[in-house]
């Protein structure tokens, strides 16, 4: 495959290229745009004109420097061995292939896709979406030889994108609905994915029916289809083998696979916990489940939420903490579909003595709650606050009490909210059992005024005695 007819270099070496606002010629999709998408569909060969790129809207050369536009990338592929189940996995490769281009930065997937094209690529002559379409078609056919023909339509205009956007949303919903129809117990094979190792070398996703990939684009069905047609490819089978803990989702086969695929970094994962041996996160998670020590509960914020979350941090700051392929108790990258799963962080719920993992959730950004509301338990839905209900931790503390959120029945909540005066020696002892994550202990000064905070990140404390003494600065009498 050759790209010598194109003005920019193309290859995996450019994956990971960052294009900052100052370096970009234009921005496509992303949080500033309402409607944008990328979609792959399998079609009969006769409906496709191989190699054709259609542009609906203005082309790159007619865009003003520094401007932002909608982007819809609609890829139609054909081949005798292709099946609908492969569409989502092909679609995920758009992210990778766009990032092969020196001068394109591509983030996310589906309707959260976000691209930047650099000034230097534009100056070199990369000035038409026809070139982008051609690159994608060539890469699709070269990297996935079961694709025999492909055509691409690129939408850049608000009016033109409307209908295809609606169509894409329907396709995503249909895929997700099917993914929700089975459970881990119904299958004897799980799957793994290492597509994101170019960004996070120690990260591999485990995909089961109840835990969709954290990027939200590859379900168990999609992974199964991909592993079948290309068993040596980035998606592969993971035989669960012995189940060590059903609630935690700890399996011998998952631990072994992750040890091998993470270059020895990770050797134990509870796929249904965000607090103990959590699944690692690369960088393209749809949402973050984060621990809120002040109420011993959890919050969930998604990528599209532009404000700070209840813990005072924006998504971007938490994403830095969460991603990178490390196990980060208290910060877990997740897909929106996983929140709807009956196994959602079920280990964390059980440890707290709750009915389910979702009962640990005390706050969600409205953007998340709107998407998952119909799948939340009826007796919990109104007890989960959003940014429209509370905006700071003190208000959240009041909220959980007012609505009688199940979290207030947990020992962890009682410890977290106990006044210093009430914390006796025994309760300090209980700190040892607190889950991993970020713990905050407020130590007021004399008379409850002033004082300071100790923030303990990702540590477990084991001690027989903890002595906190007031430092007496008064000069000693002679
Ligand atoms: Fe694969 Fe996981 Fe990356 Fe999605 S987030 S592409 S499933 S490694
Ligand atoms: Zn990723």
Tokens 């909608």 sit at which residue? 70
Here the tokens at position 163 are 């209908």
Give the end of a domain, one of 124, 147, 179: 179
Atom of ligand 1 nearest to the CA of 234: 1
Atom of ligand 1 nearest to the CA of 214: 5
What CATH number corresponds to the domain at position 22? Answer: 3.30.1650.10
CB 229 within 8 A of CB 241: no
Å from CA of 214 to ligand 1 middle = 7
Q: How confident is the model at residue 418, as a pLDDT?
A: 87
Query: Does residue 477 fall inside a structural domain?
Result: no
Share of the chain above pLDDT 70, in %: 87
Closest C-alpha among 223, 248, 222, 219 to residue 238: 223
Atom of ligand 1 nearest to the CA of 203: 8
Write the residue with the smallest CA distance to atom 7 of ligand 1. 213
Q: Is 15 helix (H, G, I), strand (E, B) or coil?
A: coil
Å from CA of 284 to ligand 2 middle = 4
Å from CA of 286 to ligand 2 middle = 10
Give the chain's domain count: 2
pLDDT band at 469 (very low <50, low <70, confident <90, very high): low
Write the residue with the smallest CA distance to atom 4 of ligand 1. 215
- Please say if the pLDDT value at position 248 is more than 90: yes
Give the end of a domain, one of 164, 179, 194: 179
Q: What is the largest CA-CA distance in the chain?
A: 101
| Exposure of 264 in the CB half-sphere (CA atoms within 13 A) | 0
- Please say if the pLDDT value at position 453 is more than 80: no
Atom of ligand 1 nearest to the CA of 204: 8
Å from CA of 23 to ligand 1 middle = 28
User: What is the tens place of the pLDDT at every residue in 292-310?
Assistant: 999 999 999 999 899 999 9
Ligand 1 pocket test, pick from 40, 217, 332, 335 with the greatest ligand atom count within 8 Å of Cβ, gives 217
Q: Identify whether residues 104 and 32 lie together within a single domain.
A: yes
**Closest listed ligand to the CA of 194:** 1
Query: Does residue 455 fall inside a structural domain?
Result: no
**How far, in Å, are 215, 295, 319, 432 from residue 265 at the CA level?**
21, 32, 20, 26
289: β partners: 300, 332
User: What is the tens place of the pLDDT at every residue in 147-177?
Assistant: 999 999 999 999 999 999 999 999 999 999 9
Q: How confident is the model at residue 472, as a pLDDT?
A: 53
Å from CA of 193 to ligand 1 middle = 6
Domain that holds residue 79: 12-179
Query: Does residue 446 fall inside a structural domain?
Result: no
- Please say if the pLDDT value at position 77 is more than 90: yes
What CATH number corresponds to the domain at position 216? Answer: 3.40.970.20
Q: Identify whether residues 72 and 122 lie together within a single domain.
A: yes
Write the residue with the smallest CA distance to atom 5 of ligand 1. 215
What's the whole-model pTM score? Answer: 0.83
CB 250 within 8 A of CB 259: no
Write the residue with the smallest CA distance to atom 6 of ligand 1. 195
Mean pLDDT of the chain: 90
Å from CA of 157 to ligand 2 middle = 28
Give the end of a domain, one of 364, 388, 416: 416
Q: Ligand 1: residues within 6 Å at CB?
A: 92, 193-196, 205, 213-215, 217-218, 282, 284
CB 147 within 8 A of CB 90: yes
């Amino acid at each position: 495959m050759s790209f010598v007819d194109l003005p920019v270099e193309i290859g995996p070496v450019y994956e990971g290229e960052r294009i900052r606002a100052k370096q970009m010629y234009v921005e496509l999709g992303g949080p500033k745009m309402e409607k944008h998408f990328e979609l792959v569909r399998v079609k009969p060969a006769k409906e496709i004109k191989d190699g054709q790129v259609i542009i609906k809207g203005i082309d790159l050369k007619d865009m003003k420097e520094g401007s932002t536009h909608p982007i819809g990338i609609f890829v139609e592929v054909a081949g005798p061995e292709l099946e609908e189940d492969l569409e989502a996995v092909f679609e995920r490769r758009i992210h990778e292939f766009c990032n092969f281009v020196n001068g394109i930065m591509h983030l996310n997937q589906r309707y959260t896709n976000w691209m930047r094209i650099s000034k230097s690529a534009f100056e070199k002559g990369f000035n038409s979406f026809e070139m982008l379409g051609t690159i994608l078609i060539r890469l699709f056919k070269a990297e996935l030889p079961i694709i025999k023909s492909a055509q691409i339509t690129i939408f850049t205009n608000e009016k033109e994108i409307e209908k295809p956007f609606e169509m894409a949303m329907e396709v995503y919903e249909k895929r997700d609905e099917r993914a929700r129809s089975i459970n881990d117990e119904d299958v004897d094979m799980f799957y793994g994915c290492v597509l994101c190792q170019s960004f996070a070398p120690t990260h591999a996703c485990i995909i089961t029916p109840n835990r969709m990939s954290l990027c939200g684009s590859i379900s168990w069905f999609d992974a199964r289809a991909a592993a079948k047609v290309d068993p040596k490819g980035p998606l592969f089978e993971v035989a669960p083998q012995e189940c060590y803990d059903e609630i935690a989702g700890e399996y011998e086969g998952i631990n072994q696979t992750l040890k091998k695929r993470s270059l020895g970094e990770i050797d134990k994962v509870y796929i249904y916990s965000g607090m103990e041996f959590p699944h690692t996160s690369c960088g393209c998670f749809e949402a973050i489940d984060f621990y809120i020590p002040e109420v011993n509960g959890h919050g969930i914020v998604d990528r599209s939420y532009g404000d700070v979350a209840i813990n005072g941090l924006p998504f971007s700051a938490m994403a830095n903490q969460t991603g990178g392929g490390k196990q980060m108790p208290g910060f877990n990258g997740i897909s929106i579909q996983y929140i709807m799963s009956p196994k959602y962080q079920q280990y964390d719920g059980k440890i707290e003595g709750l009915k389910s993992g979702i009962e640990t959730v005390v706050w969600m950004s409205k953007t998340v709650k709107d998407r998952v509301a119909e799948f939340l338990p009826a007796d919990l839905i109104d007890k989960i606050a959003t940014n429209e209900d509370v905006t700071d931790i003190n208000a959240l503390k009041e909220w959980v009490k007012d609505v009688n959120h199940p979290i207030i029945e947990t020992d962890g909540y009682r410890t977290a909210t106990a006044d210093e005066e009430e914390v006796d020696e025994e309760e300090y002892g209980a700190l040892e059992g607190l889950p991993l994550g970020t713990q905050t202990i407020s130590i007021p000064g004399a008379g409850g005024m002033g004082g300071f905070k100790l923030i303990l990140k990702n540590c477990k404390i084991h001690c027989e005695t903890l002595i906190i003494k007031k430092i007496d600065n008064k000069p000693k009498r002679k």
